[in-house]
């Protein structure tokens, strides 16, 4: 009715994840409803095309999407192919998946002996199973109970570790091989855990080191509108900018530390902007420090220097400098993980409680 004014709905697109248990039924129902509805299937082929397009559009050498859904964890990755130090224009695509078929198998997974190895709460087997079963059945989007959050963090760490163990060659170089790396995180588990604990489960589960930008996409904008961003002005449905899909991100820094250093300042830096006073910060060795940056409307400059022989991956830099530009490429937090490698949990919940308390420094 508003065609002449240029307003109204010009079309409908339905996107279907091929992991849906009733994928074929949904597909057939939509097609029977109307042939005018545009259908897009989110399968491996689509994800490969999406990641390649985003990597090119955003000038990223190594791009990975990690979907932390309750029933299945999936990792899709594209890396720029280089030859004699120059990009060939081709990409290397890989995928890794871990899936539970139903609620019963997912609930029973809690009985895995590895599960308690990551817990920091000392729980009886009965209480653990009941707590986990209630979460699986109810699937809340918000969790306040610290014990349940600890259980979910443990589950996420095990899921990520299981994927890494079976697909090590596809994952182990992420963050260390290129200078422009990005990780897009989706899924209800990441929503429940929040940024700091989600990244902890990813870093420890996938045994990551190096540096990368972490984007939390809880609204699935990347998958839903990524193609529109790639096509830019040639898009046939909606024209989007980078800030529309990935407005803010967390800068993750896990440096190369050769020697074990205890309780020493290993990095010092400052945050500067025209709209606020200069702020100094420092990070201790052996800590996992999640630094939230102040809200800003003007450009924010973060500069820092490593100490005690620490260096960044992959170029071995001792100085860091980042610029946060609101609405374009805004950094809302920085994670400095200076814990000694390898990261070792256990042997029991009490030990983990002590370790996590000494590691984590959330500001």
Q: In this structure, are 125 and 173 located in the same domain?
A: yes
Q: In this structure, are 36 and 116 located in the same domain?
A: no
pLDDT of amino acid 1: 45
pLDDT means over runs of 10, the chain (363 residues): 51 61 63 60 87 92 96 96 88 95 93 89 94 96 96 96 96 94 96 97 97 93 83 60 76 88 90 94 93 94 94 91 92 95 93 95 76
The Cβ of residue 144 has, within 10 Å, a number of other Cβ atoms equal to 7
The Cβ of residue 8 has, within 10 Å, a number of other Cβ atoms equal to 9
What strands lie across the sheet with 210-216, from one edge to the other?
86-99, 72-83, 62-68, 181-186, 210-216, 248-254, 330-337, 288-292, 360-362
Q: In this structure, are 237 and 279 located in the same domain?
A: yes
Q: In this structure, are 23 and 167 located in the same domain?
A: no
CA–CA gap between residue 288 and residue 290 (Å, rounded): 7
Q: In this structure, are 189 and 274 located in the same domain?
A: yes
Q: In this structure, are 49 and 28 located in the same domain?
A: no
Nearest by Cα to 214 from 175, 165, 243: 175
**pTM for the predicted model, two decimal places:** 0.88
pLDDT of amino acid 54: 93
Looking at the 3D structure of the chain, how many domains does it have?
Answer: 2
Q: In this structure, are 326 and 356 located in the same domain?
A: yes
Q: In this structure, are 215 and 136 located in the same domain?
A: yes
Q: For residue 315, what are the CA distances in angstroms to 35, 36, 58, 318, 319?
A: 53, 52, 21, 9, 11
Residue by residue, DSSP assigns 216-273 as: E-TT-HHHHHHHHHHHGGG-SS----HHHH--EEEEEEE-B--S---S-EEEEEEEEE
Q: Which domain holds residue 24?
A: 3-40
pLDDT of amino acid 228: 79
pLDDT of amino acid 223: 84
Q: In this structure, are 31 and 48 located in the same domain?
A: no
pLDDT of amino acid 2: 44
| Cβ(157)–Cβ(205) below 8 Å | yes
Q: In this structure, are 214 and 116 located in the same domain?
A: yes
Q: In this structure, are 151 and 27 located in the same domain?
A: no
Q: In this structure, are 99 and 29 located in the same domain?
A: no
Beta strand 288-292 pairing with 360-362: parallel
């Amino acid at each position: 009715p508003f065609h002449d004014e240029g307003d109204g709905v010009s079309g409908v697109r339905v996107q279907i994840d091929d992991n849906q248990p009733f994928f074929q039924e949904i597909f057939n129902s939509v097609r029977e409803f109307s042939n005018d509805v545009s259908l897009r299937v989110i399968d491996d082929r689509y994800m490969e095309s999406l990641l390649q397009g985003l990597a090119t559009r955003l000038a990223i050498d190594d791009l990975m999407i990690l979907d932390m859904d309750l029933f299945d964890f999936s990792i899709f990755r594209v890396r720029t192919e280089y030859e004699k130090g120059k990009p060939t224009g081709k990409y290397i695509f890989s995928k890794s998946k871990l899936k539970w078929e139903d609620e019963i198998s997912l609930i029973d997974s809690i009985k895995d002996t590895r599960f308690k190895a990551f817990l920091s709460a000392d729980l009886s087997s009965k209480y653990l199973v009941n707590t986990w079963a209630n979460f699986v059945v109810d699937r809340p989007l918000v969790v306040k109970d610290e014990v349940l959050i600890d259980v979910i963090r443990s589950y996420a760490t095990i899921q990520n570790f299981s994927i890494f163990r079976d697909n090590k060659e596809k994952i182990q170089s992420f963050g260390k091989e290129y200078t422009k790396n990005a990780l897009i995180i989706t899924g209800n588990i990441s929503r429940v855990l929040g940024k700091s604990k989600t990244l902890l489960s990813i870093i420890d589960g996938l045994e990551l080191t190096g540096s990368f930008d972490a984007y939390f996409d809880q609204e699935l904008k990347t998958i839903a509108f990524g193609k529109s961003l790639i096509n830019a002005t040639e898009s046939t449905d909606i024209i989007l900018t980078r800030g529309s899909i990935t407005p803010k991100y967390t800068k993750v820094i896990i440096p190369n530390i050769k020697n074990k250093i205890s309780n020493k300042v290993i990095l010092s830096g400052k945050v500067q902007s025209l709209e606020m006073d200069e702020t100094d910060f420092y990070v201790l060795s052996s800590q996992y420090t999640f630094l939230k940056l102040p809200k800003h409307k003007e450009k924010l400059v973060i500069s820092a220097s490593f100490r005690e022989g620490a260096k960044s991956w992959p170029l071995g830099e001792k100085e860091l400098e980042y610029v946060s530009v609101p609405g374009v490429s805004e950094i809302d937090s920085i994670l400095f993980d200076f814990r000694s490698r390898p990261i070792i949990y256990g042997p029991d919940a009490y030990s983990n409680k002590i370790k996590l308390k000494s590691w984590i420094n959330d500001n």
